[in-house]
Amino acid sequence: MAKTDKINYSCPSGFPEFLPGEKRLESYLMDTIRQVFERYGFTPIETPAVERLEVLQAKGNQGDNIVYGLSPILPPNRQAEKEKAGDTGSEERALKFDQTVPLAAYIARHLNDLNFPFARYQMDVVFRGERAKDGRFRQFRQCDIDVVGRGKLSLLYDAQVPAIIAEIFEAINIGDFLIRINNRKVLTGFFASVGVAAENIVSCIRIVDTAEKVGEVKVKKALKEIGLSEYQVEKVGDFTNIKGSVDDVLDKLKSMTETLDNSEVLTQGISELETVISGVINLGVSDKRFCIDLSIARGLDYYTGTVYETTLIGHEALGSICSGGRYEELVGTFIGEKMPGVGISIGLTRLMSRLLKAGILESFAPTPATVMVVNMQEDLMATYLDVSQKLRRSGMNVITSFDSRGVGKQLQQADKQKIPFCIIIGSEEAAANMCSFKDLRTGEQMKVPIAGLAGVLKQRLVQ
């Protein structure tokens, strides 16, 4: 067979793919995340990979992202057709770059068929024309939840978010983590109340948001550079140094408002934060899993209230592994309705690839099969097929070997794929309705009746 020379069959740069053991790990993570989302009543949706370009670009939606436009390419044998028998490409379309703009479009498209508050999850891949050399992916999976109200939305939905985050990361068992909670109104309110001009507040928040990375000295310098007074910089220092238990932080914040003018927004933010924290406590989230962190702001300008970041303790360099917040004007834009929402996103592809590299997660075995029925004698194939089907019907994943090489080679094949059990049946065993099984993890070999095989293997699997 001739090789098709010169074809570059590698993945396009920035478009990664996984080996089977990695894909199995991803499936497991997705199943776990999905299960937690559903526990809280979030329902799945999936929007097309492709949206109209005007949707992706409406109201500055595209942000800084490069998106991928689509252009139909006819096959060589149909060039003469001028696309008559297919997509003419007359609609400008592009691949989605996040799940939020499509959520807004989805809600507009199905407004009367949805129940509000609409709590949905979505685990699709999205596409961004990132610089590939930064190790960023151009296609990656995001696991998002959002709950969206019409007109208003209880703050208790904000309180559920940390409970969901905690449950997910406890379930996937990647070590200790800390969910850091803040409220944008606390930040903007504070800056307003120390007299920072409205147009400077966003810059101040951005600077404060970098504190953990650059340190306090640089933050103060940067704040001075954008025009804050000595007094204001001092106050910012006091503010971001408020630490302690959630009760301590709330108390210190409240006492701070007493000495400040113009503190309505700050007071509102503190009140919201207090409601959210109280809900988180009532939901039984362990207090070692969450804190109030007044320095976090989330860069994204659309957050208006609660914001979240999640840090994996001991692996702070990974950055936030799950973030989000509350927004007012994000998903109602297409229909001109106020639709407050709160949501989070787990960047699964990036998270998994980094956790694998850091050795925090390990690939799964390359096959879901836990049993291989060995082909010892071709003339017993009917028995091998029958035993395989019996095991499958009892819920096991089974490979029947059709390999004509010796038993040793087949056991090697099983071992290479990390299949724990091999079933070996010769004429004598077959005649007695018996079989031998070998546990490749321990090297043990045992003879058992075929009728009891599934029970024995399943018991060993859970040990």
Tokens of 217: 């000295």
Positions in 217-276 near its own copies (CB under 8 A): none
Q: List, in order, residues 6 or more apart from 189 with CB less than 8 Å away.
A: 263, 264, 265, 266, 267, 268, 269
What are the φ and ψ backbone dihedral angles of 14, each rounded to 5 degrees?
90, -10
Q: Which stretch binds its own copies (CB under 8 A): 49-57, 173-181, 200-208, 352-360?
A: 49-57
3-state DSSP assignment of residue 51: strand
Q: List, in order, residues 6 or more apart from 404 with CB less than 8 Å away.
A: 375, 378
Q: Is residue 302 annotated as involved in ligand binding?
A: yes
Q: Is residue 144 annotated as involved in ligand binding?
A: no
Residue bearing tokens 């989605």: 96
Positions in 138-177 near its own copies (CB under 8 A): 138-139, 154, 156-157, 160, 163
| First-last CA distance in the chain | 48
Q: Which stretch binds its own copies (CB under 8 A): 4-12, 198-206, 304-312, 317-325?
A: 4-12
Q: Per rule CB under 8 A, is residue 110 in the interface with its own copies?
A: yes
Residue among 415 and 439 whose Cβ is closer to its own copies: 415
Residue among 208 and 372 whose Cβ is closer to its own copies: 372
Q: Is residue 267 annotated as involved in ligand binding?
A: no
Q: Per rule CB under 8 A, is residue 55 in the interface with its own copies?
A: yes
Q: Is residue 146 annotated as involved in ligand binding?
A: yes
Q: Per rule CB under 8 A, is residue 68 in the interface with its own copies?
A: yes
Q: List, in order, residues 6 or more apart from 81 with CB less than 8 Å away.
A: 74
Q: Per rule CB under 8 A, is residue 451 in the interface with its own copies?
A: no
Taking CB under 8 A as the criterion, the residue among 32, 53, 178, 200 binding its own copies is 53
Nearest to 132 by CA among 141, 124, 140, 143: 140
Residue count, binding to its own copies (CB under 8 A): 126
Residue among 73 and 317 whose Cβ is closer to its own copies: 73
What are the φ and ψ backbone dihedral angles of 242, each rounded to 5 degrees?
-70, 115
Residue bearing tokens 């003339």: 379
Cβ at position 63, least distance to its own copies in Å:
6
Q: Is residue 128 annotated as involved in ligand binding?
A: yes
Residue among 10 and 255 whose Cβ is closer to its own copies: 10
Cβ at position 159, least distance to its own copies in Å:
8
Tokens of 371: 């049993």
Distance CA 63, CA 40 (A): 31
Peptide bond before 117: cis, by omega within 30 degrees of 0? yes
- Tell me how crowded residue 79 is: count the other CB atoms within 10 A of its CB: 10
- The region, left, alpha or beta by phi > 0 then psi within -120 to 50, assigned to residue 460 is alpha
Q: Which stretch binds its own copies (CB under 8 A): 41-49, 210-218, 228-236, 432-440?
A: 41-49
- Tell me how crowded residue 450 is: count the other CB atoms within 10 A of its CB: 19
Q: Is residue 28 annotated as involved in ligand binding?
A: no
Positions in 299-358 near its own copies (CB under 8 A): 329, 332-338
Taking CB under 8 A as the criterion, the residue among 242, 358, 381, 434 binding its own copies is 381
Q: Are 294 and 182 in contact (CB under 8 A)?
A: yes
Taking CB under 8 A as the criterion, the residue among 171, 214, 226, 385 binding its own copies is 385
Q: Which 3-state string (H, E, C) describes 399-432? A: EECCCCCCHHHHHHHHHHCCCCEEEECCHHHHHC
Q: List, in order, residues 6 or more apart from 278 with CB less than 8 Å away.
A: 159
Q: Is residue 410 annotated as involved in ligand binding?
A: no
Cβ at position 70, least distance to its own copies in Å:
4
Q: Per rule CB under 8 A, is residue 213 in the interface with its own copies?
A: no
Q: Is residue 298 annotated as involved in ligand binding?
A: yes
Cβ at position 433, least distance to its own copies in Å:
17
Q: Is residue 98 annotated as involved in ligand binding?
A: yes
CA 351 from chain centre, in angstroms, equals: 7
- Tell me how crowded residue 91 is: count the other CB atoms within 10 A of its CB: 11
CA angle 340, 121, 170 (to 5 degrees): 110
Q: Per rule CB under 8 A, is residue 30 in the interface with its own copies?
A: no
Q: Which stretch binds its own copies (CB under 8 A): 46-54, 182-190, 200-208, 448-456?
A: 46-54
Q: Which stretch binds its own copies (CB under 8 A): 126-134, 176-184, 255-263, 441-449?
A: 126-134
Distance CA 159, CA 277 (A): 7
Positions in 389-448 near its own copies (CB under 8 A): 389, 392, 396-400, 402, 404, 413, 416-417
Residue among 223 and 374 whose Cβ is closer to its own copies: 374
x/- site string to its own copies, residues 77 to 96, per CB under 8 A? xx----x-xxx-x-x-xxx-
- Bind-site residues for L-histidine: 98-100, 128, 142, 146, 298, 302-303
- Bind-site residues: 98-100, 128, 142, 146, 298, 302-303
